[in-house]
Structure 1
Amino acid sequence: MRALTWHGTHDVRVDTVPDPQIVNPRDAVLKVTSTAICGSDLHLYDGVIPGMLSGDILGHEFMGEVVDVGPKSTLKKGQRVVVPFTISCGSCYFCQKQQYSACDNSNPAEKQDISEPLYGHAVSALFGYSHMTGGYPGGQAEYVRVPFSDVGPIVIPDGMDDDEVLFLSDILPTGWMAAENCDIEPGDTVAVWGCGPVGLFAVQSAKLMGAERVIAIDHYPHRLELARKFGAETIDFNQTKVGEALMEMTGGIGPDAVIDAVGMEAHGFAPDNVLEVAKQKLGVAADRGHALREAIVSVRKGGRVSMPGVYGGFLDKFPLGAMMEKGLQWRTGQTHVQRYTADLLRRIQEGEIDTTFLISHRLPLEEAPTGYKNFHSKQDEWTKVVLKP
Structure 2
Amino acid sequence: MQAMVYRGPYRVRVEEKDRPAIEHPNDAIVRVTRAAICGSDLHLYHGMMPDTRVGTTFGHEFVGVVDDVGPSVRRLNPGDRVMVPFNIFCGTCFFCARGMYANCHNVNPNATAVGGIYGYSHTAGGYDGGQAEYVRVPFADVGPSLIPDWMDDDDAVLLTDAVATGYFGAQLGDIAEGDVVVVFGAGPVGLSAAKSAWLMGAGRVIVIDHLDYRLAKARTFAHAETYNFTEYDDIVVQMKKATDHLGADVAIDAVGAEADGNLLQHVTSAKLKLQGGSPIALNWAIDSVRKGGTVSVMGAYGPMFSAVKFGDAVNKGLTLRMNQCPVKRQWPRLFEHVRNGYLKPSELVTHRIPLEHIAEGYHIFSAKLDECVKPLIIPNAA
Question: What is the TM-score with the length of structure 1 in the denominator?
Answer: 0.93
The equivalent of 2:305 in structure 1 is 315
Tell me if 1:96 matches 2:97. yes
Which amino acid counterpart does residue 352 of structure 2 have in structure 1? R
Match of residue 133 from structure 2: 142
- Listed as ranges, the matches of 1:161-176 within 5 Å are 161-176=152-167
Unaligned residue ranges in structure 2 (runs of 5+): none
For residues 99-122 of structure 1, the C-alpha deviation after alignment (integer angstroms, 9 at most, x for no partner) is: 100100111xxx42xx3xxxxx25
Q: Distance in 2 between matches of 1:347 and 1:28?
A: 29
The alignment covers a number of residue pairs equal to 371
In the other structure, the counterpart of 1:366 is 356
Identity among equivalent positions (%) equals 46
Matches within 5 A, 1:73-152: 73=73, 74-107=75-108, 111-112=109-110, 115=111, 121-152=112-143
Name the structure 2 match of 1:337: 327
Q: Indicate the residue corresponding to 1:15 in structure 2.
A: 15
Q: Aligned with 1:381: secondary structure?
A: coil
Counterpart residue identity of residue 237, structure 1: F
| Candidates 219, 226, 243, aligned match of 1:234 | 226
Determine the C-alpha separation between the residues in 1 that align with 2:342 and 2:178: 21
Report deviation, 1:278: 2.2
Please state if 1:220 is matched with 2:211.
yes
Q: Distance in 1 between matches of 2:336 and 2:223?
A: 22
Q: Which amino acid aligns with 1:135?
A: G
Q: Which residue of 1 aligns with 2:266?
A: 281
Q: Which residue pairs with 2:171 in the alignment?
A: 180
The answer as to 2:238 corresponding to 1:250 is no
Q: Quick one: distance in 2 between partners of 1:123 and 1:171?
A: 17
CA distance in 2, matches of 1:307, 1:133: 19
SS in 2 for 1:50: coil
> How much does 1:266 deviate?
6.7
Alignment RMSD (CA, Å): 1.3
Structure 1 residues 343 and 71: CA distance shift in structure 2, 3 A: farther
Q: Distance in 2 between matches of 1:201 and 1:380?
A: 21
Task: Please give the TM-score of this superposition, normalised by the length of structure 2.
Answer: 0.94
- Residue 159 of structure 1, CA deviation: 4.1
Deviations 1:313-366 (A, max 9, x none): 123121111011001111111110111112212221221212111111101100
DSSP 3-state at the match of 2:238: helix
CA deviation digits over 1:207-258, x for unaligned, max 9?
Answer: 1111000110011112111111222111101112311111111000000110
Indicate conservation of the 8 Å contact 1:362/1:388, yes or no: yes
Contact 1:266 1:288 in 2 (8 A): no
Q: Does 1:262 align with 2:255?
A: yes
Kept in 1, the 8 Å contact 2:36–2:59? The answer is yes
CA–CA distance in structure 2, aligned partners of residues 46 and 164 of structure 1? 28
Contact 2:39 2:259 in 1 (8 A): no
> Structure 1: which 4+ aligned runs deviate by more than 4 Å?
none
Q: Which amino acid aligns with 1:82?
A: M
Q: Secondary structure at the match of 2:342?
A: coil
Letter matched to residue 280 of structure 1: Q
Rounded Cα–Cα distance in structure 1 between residues aligned with 2:287 and 2:78: 52
CA deviations 1:112-165 (Å, max 9, x no partner) are 2xx3xxxxx253110000001110010000000000111111101224321121
